Amino acid sequence: MDAIGGAAVVGGDEAALVRIVGGDAKAGVFEVARHVRMLLERSGLAQQEFASRIGVPNDQFTEYLTAETSPSAALMVRMRRLSDRFAKMRSERSD
């Protein structure tokens, strides 16, 4: 389990869920947005490419990044898997 700000990230091959720990609902949305941004940056993909690969329109993905809305748990799992896959590919290329 990794801690990201106020959110606990439970990762694994089959599950990657974000649980908001404490705070009000709006603070939780900001923590989720921070985690989404971290996944995007870690993947090395452009925002539009990342959104396309997880199956959401770019404007909807922007709402996740700006904490206007939060993605579903299933979408968070998709984002985590995508980020993991591209981060691994990038690290293998640099070795």
Kind of pairing between the strands at 17-20 and 7-10: antiparallel
Identify the weakest region by mean pLDDT among 3-7, 40-44, 51-55, 79-83: 3-7
Q: Which CATH number belongs to the domain containing residue 52 in this structure? A: 1.10.260
Buried b (16+ CB within 10 A) or exposed e, 35-48: bbeebbeebebeee
Contact 27, 6 (CB under 8 A): yes
DSSP secondary structure letters along 4-46? ETTEEEE--SS--EEEE-SS-HHHHHHHHHHHHHHHHHHHT--
pLDDT in tens, 45-92: 999 999 999 999 999 999 999 999 999 999 999 999 999 999 999 888
Residue 12 lies in domain? 2-94
Structural domain count of the chain? 1
